[in-house]
Structure 1
Amino acid sequence: MKSLVKYLVSITVKPVLVKYLSGTRTYRYRNIVLQVPPEVFHPGFFTSTRMLLRYLQRTPLKGRSFLELGAGSGLLAVYAAQQGAVVTASDINPASVEILSGNARQNGVSLRVLHSDLFDAFPAGAFDVVAINPPYYRRQPASPKEQAWYCGAEGEYFQRLFTQLRGFLHADSDVLMVLCSGCDLAMIGAHAAAGGFVLQLVQRRQGILEDHFIYRIETA
């Protein structure tokens, strides 16, 4: 049934959505207002970011150091800053890095914005809370925009993520990542295990096209 729905979406909804997202759009979520350029993942039309945001609403953030890794337009980062967290937002996409600073100003919050491929350009330090909406489909990205979607043919993004992550955590860090049924969960789990981590499922949400999952990343 889901395969039929995906086909119908691909021939009806997708062309309209692609046209709409060809320009910079204003996205509002409650009291957050974001500008989302066409080169940046739009949090309003895809479930993953908002699902992770709703889960974060259960997490105490005031006074804690918070990282949105691969922040896109910064929905999670702006929310965390509004809750009193000390926030870092990073992305590999230059268009995202540029819009993050503007979105922070528009919402009256302060973010440390880093242009970084995963943790490559990070100064030393550990975070209390890390939120990750990763590129999780297996394919080699061909542009900065596609780096928000594709993790490499063999999941190279995850191999590097789980190699680098431990250096930016402390014993009580809380690391959350959202994935979906359309990605290679076994491959991602294998990369996690190779890096000394396990993925603990904490929430599942069934969708029309895909199911989404929130995992807590814990040391093995």
Structure 2
Amino acid sequence: MRLLLVEDDLDLGNGIRIALADQGLDVVWVRRLDDARRELASGLFDMAILDLGLPDGDGLELLQAQRRNRQRLPVLILSARDSLNDRLQGLDHGADDYLVKPFALAELLSRVRALARRSYGLDDETLRLRGLALHEPTRRASVEGRPVELSRCEFDLLALLLKRADRVVTRRLLEEQVLPGGPDNGSNALEVHVSNLRRKIGPGFIRTVRGIGYVVDARPLPDTGGGA
């Protein structure tokens, strides 16, 4: 899981970064609002930990912009603003959780794990969604308890889509993250992998967003057009 940490305090930010990395998370740490905006625009993150009082602005501005743009990235606020009104304001503006400074690192890690479970169905390193289950350490996949044999690219492709459920993943990002050698103009390798996945896991999971990429919906749509 890739996580963006937005925290301007050097000692605190470094301590959080180390603790999260020790849990196996891929952490990108920035200290300014502009840097956070730039990183989030890449669409490469599964979660964000957001400080509010930043040198170049208020983290709430970034959170509000994300939600206005219908970005559903899970966000955990870390802030010294500890009044009830501050916490309610953060949650009402779209935060998924709010932790007041100072805090114990153990509690932060527990909340990150809980947020991952709520957002992605991630439980004991298993991604779960609508009968699909992917166990990343063993790279085993199943549908309604039935084992499914997936190639390396198929497994990585499905895992990336599940981690970003309800968010459209662009074709270019999928090619960069999943295909050996990255994007290859004129190649239909990505379409072949998606077609194989649909055949193996069944229709109604992977939806094409024409001209952009693919998405897995957390809840089935009334009519998915046969999974295309």
TM-score scaled to structure 1, two decimals?
A: 0.28
Give 1 or 2: higher helix fraction: 2
* Higher strand content, 1 or 2: 1
Which structure is richer in relative contact order (CA contacts within 8 A, separation 6 or more)?
A: 1
Kindly name which structure, 1 or 2, has the bigger radius of gyration based on alpha carbons: 2
TM-score, with length taken from structure 2: 0.27
